[in-house]
Amino acid sequence: MRQVDASLLDTMGGQVRAAVRGLLAVAGLKPNQILVVGCSTSEVIGKKIGSEGTREVAQAILAPLMAEAYSNNLFLALQCCEHLNRALLVEEEILNYYPLEQVAVKPVAKAGGSLPSLAFEHFTQPILVETIRAHAGIDMGDTFIGMHLKPVVVPVRLDFNSIGQAHLTLARTRPKLIGGERAVY
């Protein structure tokens, strides 16, 4: 595992903060809505997904994610890796708002991912749920969070498209448009 330069970690943290703020400016989320995040810390440092995840990169990403989500009264859902079937780490309080199915597992770096395993230590009452229907999402490193977004998904473009060396994808959702040519939206 390689060391990541402190200035690079600061840069990544700033990129994450800018990505969240940019997404929130476009998505118009309301309090108690859900922001889902998928992140490969390996991809962030330019390595193959799942190969070299690091706690220090996870910390650089987690701090601004939590700060921005919580200051906007949003629920943060962190997608685990495929070894946990992409279950999501959330605060237990979310169960008061959404009918989610809790699962019995604890994320660790090699089964869940560096970001969810670190967040498990920092959340107040961490639990994992099997699936979620989030209102917006951030994907760092092509972890494919789409399965956890409400339909209809709308991509959000910012003036940058990476966190570190990982490809960045942002999305918001909107209600389905129903009806035909006479429908008024």
Q: Which pair of tokens denotes residue 4?
A: 């990541």
pLDDT at position 158, please?
A: 97
pLDDT band with cut points at 50, 70 and 90 for residue 2 = low
- Taking the model in full, what pTM does it have? 0.94
Give whole-number Cα distances, 38 to 35, 173, 183, in Å. Answer: 10, 16, 36
Bridge pairing between strands 102-103 and 126-129: antiparallel
Cis preceding linkage at 90, omega within 30: no
Q: How far is the C-alpha of 157 from the C-alpha of 17, rounded, in Å?
A: 15
Give the Cβ contact number of residue 172 at 10 Å.
21
pLDDT at position 55, please?
A: 93
* For residues 155-173, average pLDDT: 97
Domain regions of the chain by residue span? 6-173
pLDDT at position 7, please?
A: 86
Q: How far is the C-alpha of 55 from the C-alpha of 2, rounded, in Å?
A: 11
For residue 184, pLDDT over 90 is answered with: no
pLDDT tens-digit profile of 134-158? 999 999 999 999 999 999 999 999 9
Cβ-contact 153, 169 below 8 angstroms: no
pLDDT at position 31, please?
A: 98
pLDDT tens-digit profile of 30-77? 999 999 999 999 999 999 888 888 899 999 999 999 999 999 999 999
Q: Which residue has the higher pLDDT, 79 or 4?
A: 79
Q: List all residues 6 or more positions away from 121 whose beta carbon is below 8 Å from its beta carbon.
A: none
pLDDT tens-digit profile of 73-130? 999 999 999 999 999 999 999 999 999 999 999 999 999 999 999 999 999 999 999 9
pLDDT band with cut points at 50, 70 and 90 for residue 4 = confident
* Topology (CATH) of 6-173: Rossmann fold (3.40.50)
